[in-house]
Amino acid sequence: MRFLHHPNIINYIDLFQHENHVWVVLEDLSDPLYLKKVIVANLNRDAGMKESFITTVLRNVINAVHYLHRHGISHGNISAGQVLLSYAGSSILVRLKLAAMIEDPDMYSRARRRPAGANEKTRFETDIWDLGLLAIEMFDSAMSLDLESPQLLDDVGKMNPPPSPSLMSFVKQAMHDVPSEKPSISALLQIPFLKR
């Protein structure tokens, strides 16, 4: 990872071991904010995060995952706890941590269902599944993510207010039960919801 750099990934600088501890040196981010904390701060809002914000976050995270997949790397744990936001002037930078990163101790990790048949051979499809869960997590932070796929998608469709048809289409495509029928990460970038 020292040799792979992308604007939507927190880049590694070095890794070393000292006194039985592994230390990871990362690039410096100015005033980073975990997406998870932003979601929790908006917990009492009636409709969750605005879809324009969800689109922006997903587009940037998908660009990061696309870069990793092109280099044969799967993330393995995409969630709001792995996404950092930082400010550059008037714009927000969305950066993805890698799965090897230690979780923020101030955040509680919610149980998340893995797709049926998830294994080493379907690791790239599992990343795509996680992107669907991330969209749901941003839209309704109180919803259980530990449900079977049909029940979870049914519950998302019954939210009040419901997600837009384009967001619902994105979630359904990303969380398709048949791994071979999930869109590739490249195809996911072409979904109309992300073109807004």
Per-residue pLDDT of 84-115, as tens digits, reads 887 766 567 788 876 444 454 444 455 666 67
Distance separating alpha carbons of residues 27 and 11, to the nearest angstrom: 6
pLDDT in tens, 121-177: 778 888 999 999 999 988 887 777 777 777 888 888 888 888 899 999 999 999 887
| Structural domains in the chain plus CATH codes | 30-194 (1.10.510.10)
Instruction: Categorize the per-residue pLDDT at 59 as very low, low, confident or very high, splitting at 50, 70 and 90.
Output: very high
Q: In what order do the strands lie in the sheet with 33-34?
A: 33-34, 83-88, 91-96
Query: DSSP of 55-123, one letter per residue?
Result: HHHHHHHHHHHHHHHHTT---S--SGGGEEEEEETTEEEEEEPPTTSPPPTTSPPPPBPPPTT-SGGGH
The amino acid occupying position 152 is L
Q: Hunting for tokens 């998340």 — which residue is that?
A: 112
Q: By the 8 A CB rule, do 79 and 127 touch? A: no
Q: Taking residues 32-52, report their average pLDDT.
A: 71
